[in-house]
Amino acid sequence: MTTQFMTVTGMTCDHCARSAQAALNALPGVTAQVAFDSRTATIRSETVLDLIALKAAVAARGYGLEPRTQPGTTERPKHGASGLHVAIIGSGGAAFASALRAVENGARVTMIEAADKVGGTCVNVGCVPSKIMLRAAEINHLQSHHPFAGIGRNAQPLDRKAMLAQLRARVDDLRGAKYESILANTPEITLLPGKARFQDHQTLIVTDASGASQSLTPDRCLIATGAAPMIPPIPGLAETPFWTSTQALFAETIPASLIVIGSSFVALELAQAYQRLGAQVTVLARGGLLTRDDPELGAGLKMALEGEGIRVLTETTVNQITHQASRFNIELASGTLQAEQVLLATGRRANTAKLNLDAAGVAMNEAGAILVDDHMRTSAGTIYAAGDCSTMPQLVYVAAAAGTRAAINMTGGDAQLDLSIVPAVVFTDPAVATVGLDEVQARAAGMKTITRRLDLENVPRALANFDTRGFVKLVAEAGTLRLVGAQILAHDAGEMIQTAALAIRFGMSVQALGDTLFPYLVMSEGIKLAAQTFTKDVSQLSCCAG
C-alpha cells in the first residue's frame, strides 16, 4: 500500500472537498480522503501512484494538486528537544491524544497502524457512525410515533442507501479533520503502516502488507491497540454469516427480522435502532439488561423497549445457531427462534493476542487486557498502555485522557488519571446515564447511604414533552448527605448526567444541589428536584419552586 499526502488547491467549502475526493476515488485502485480544513488529500493505492493522472482527475473539477513532504513518506522527522523517540501502536483516540502531547513535550513519534484507515474504533466503526444511525432511527420513529395531537403520524419510505451514504460521508469528514489532517500537519509524527509485535521489552518488529519487516528501538512505547467484538463459542455460530456491530452499522439493507444476542449498551442501542428502522427485533440476554448497573435501570429500559415492540428474553441461553435457506435458526431451551439476521453484541476483547507481550514482560489479566496503574504504566518499565486494550473502562474519553497522561509520563512528567468519577451513557431512548456509586457499590465500599428516586412524572419538562418514561435516582452519604452517585433513565439522560458528575466532583451535598438555581423548563431540573426529595415532598411544590 502506497500512501501520499498532497495539497489540494482551489477549494472553497466542504462540497469542494467531497468533489475532489470523488474525482480521485474514480481512478482505478485509488482510495482517497480529502479534508477541507487542512486542504489535504490522503491518497492510497496498491500500486505506484500516477501523479499526472491524479492531477488530471482533480483538474477536471477545477482544483489543483501539489505534492508535499508529509508523514508516511520515507523522510524521518527531526528529533524534538527532549531527544525521545516514542512508538505508539494504534491510531485511535488514545494514540492520537498521546502523540500530540508527546510532540508538544519535545518527542518524536512513530505511530504504527495495521489497518488501512487511521482513527481506531470510535470514528470509523463505533461512536460516530452509531450515533448517526441512532439519531436517524429516532427521527424515523417519531414521524409515526410522536405524542402530539394535531400533527399527522405518517411513516415515510426508508432509503437505506441514502442514509448509509450520508453516514459514510460524515465519518470520512471527521476522520479527515480529526486524524488524517493531524498527521498531514504534524511532521514530528510518522505514520508507519504495518503490524507490530515485541521482540523484547526494547524492540518492536513491524511487518507491512508485503511481508517486509523492520525493527524499532524506541525510548518509550505506548500500546493503544483497542478492542474488537468478542465472539462467544456458541455451537454452529462460526459457520453462519452473523453480524457484529460493524456489519450492523454499515449493512446495505434493513432485515425484516433481527435477533440480537447481548444485553450491554451496543446490543441495546442497535436493537432499538433496527426496530425503529423497520425490523422486528428480539433481544436475547443471558441475565437481565445492563447487569453491571443498578437493576432498576435495566428493568425500566426493558419496559421501554418492549413498549416499542421489541421482544426481550432475559435469563436466556443460546444452545446452537444454524443458517440455511437465508434464515437463522437459534435453538433455546424453550424452543427455536428464526430470523433473517443475527447480531452478536456480547462484549469486546482487548487486541493484544498478536503483540507477543510475554516477550516484553507486559502482564495481562485473564481476558487479555493489559494491566496498568494510574500512570498508565505496565509491568515493563518503558512500556505504557491506554484505551480499550488495557484494564481501564472502555470509553473513548477515558482512552484519550489516558493517552495524554501516558505521554506526559513517557516524556518525564508525573500525571495520574483519576477514574473515581466517570460518567457513562447508554444511547437508547430513554437513555441510561450513570456516574459515581450506586447503592450496591456504596455498600461494598463500606459506606452507609440514603437514596431517593424521582420518577419523571414529577419533572415539568418531561410532562411538557409528553414523555415521562424513567427516573432520576441519587445516592448520598448518610450523615453528610454528600452526593456520591446518580443513575438516570430519561430521554436526555446523557445531557443531564454531567450536572451530577460536577456535583460529586466538588463534594456538593444534596441540600446544596437542591438549593442551586436551575433553568425552567429543562430536563436537568430533575436532578434538582431529586435532591430536594431528601428533605421534602416535591409533588407538593409549586411550579419551579426553589
Q: How far apart are CA 447 and CA 118, in angstroms?
A: 44
3-state secondary structure of 516: coil
The pLDDT, as a whole number, for residue 64 is 84
271 vs 84, 302, 345, 403, 491, CA distance in Å? 47, 12, 10, 32, 17
For residue 524, give the C-alpha cell.
436537568
| Grid cell for residue 379 | 509491568
Helical spans, DSSP H, in 346-472: 357-360, 396-410, 439-444, 460-464
Q: How far is CA 353 from the centre of its chain?
A: 22
Query: How confident is the model at residue 156, as a pLDDT?
Result: 86
Closest alpha carbon to 483 in 423, 525, 422, 436 = 436
Asked if residue 532 lies in contact with residue 546, where contact means CB atoms within 8 angstroms, the answer is: no
414-449: b or e for each residue (b if 16 or more CB lie within 10 Å)? Answer: ebebeeeebbbbbbbbbbbbbbbbbbebbeeeebeb
pLDDT at 71: 39
**pLDDT score, position 79:** 38
Task: Tell me the longest C-alpha to C-alpha distance in the chain.
Answer: 76
DSSP-based three-state secondary structure for 271: helix
Q: Which residues are catalytic?
A: 11, 13, 16, 63, 122, 127, 543-544
Query: Hey, which CATH number is domain 237-345, 2.10.77.10, 3.40.190.10, 3.40.50.10190, 3.50.50.60?
Result: 3.50.50.60
CATH architecture of 2-67: 2-Layer Sandwich (3.30)
Backbone angles phi, psi at 488, to 5 degrees: -130, 135
In sequence order, the β-bridge partners of residue 337 are: 330
H-helix or E-strand containing 137?
Answer: helix 127-145
Q: How many CB atoms lie within 10 A of CB 230?
A: 16
Instruction: Write out 182-234 in H/E/C secondary structure.
Output: HHHHCCCEEEEECEEEECCCCCEEEECCCCCEEEECCCEEEECCCEEECCCCC
**Cβ(318)–Cβ(339) below 8 Å:** no
d(CA 485, CA 489): 14
Return the CATH fold of 424-538.
Answer: Enolase-like; domain 1 (3.30.390)
Res 514: pLDDT = 96
Cell of 66: 501539489
Give the contacts of 246 (CB within 8 A, at least 6 positions apart): 125, 229
Report the helix count and the strand count for the chain, using DSSP H and E. Answer: 17, 26
CA quadruple 399, 402, 406, 408: dihedral sign: positive
- CA–CA separation, 73 vs 43, rounded Å? 12
- DSSP characters over 96-110: HHHHHHHHHTT-EEE
Look at residue 56 in the predicted model and tell me its pLDDT.
85
Q: What are the residues whose beta carbons fall under 8 Å from the beta carbon of 438, sequence distance 6 or more?
A: 293, 294, 475, 485, 487
pTM: 0.83
Query: How many Å is the Cα radius of gyration of the chain?
Result: 25
- Residues 85-120+166-228+350-410: name the CATH superfamily: FAD/NAD(P)-binding domain (3.50.50.60)
Whether the ω angle into residue 430 lies within 30 degrees of 0, i.e. cis, is yes
CA distance 4 to 185: 13
What single-letter DSSP state applies at residue 236?
Answer: T
Quick one: which of 85, 355, 381, 95 has its CA closest to 218?
Answer: 85
Fold agreement (85-120+166-228+350-410, 237-345): yes
* Cell of residue 446, nine digits: 463500606
Q: Which residue has the cell 432498576?
A: 296
Which strands form 40-45's sheet, in the order they lie side by side? 30-35, 40-45, 2-9, 64-67
Task: From 510, 511, 501, select the one nearest 437 (Cα to Cα).
Answer: 501
Sorted by where each begins, the domain ranges of the chain are: 2-67, 85-120+166-228+350-410, 237-345, 424-538
Q: Which of 452, 487, 374 is nearest to 420 (CA)?
A: 374
Residues of the chain with pLDDT under 50: 69-81
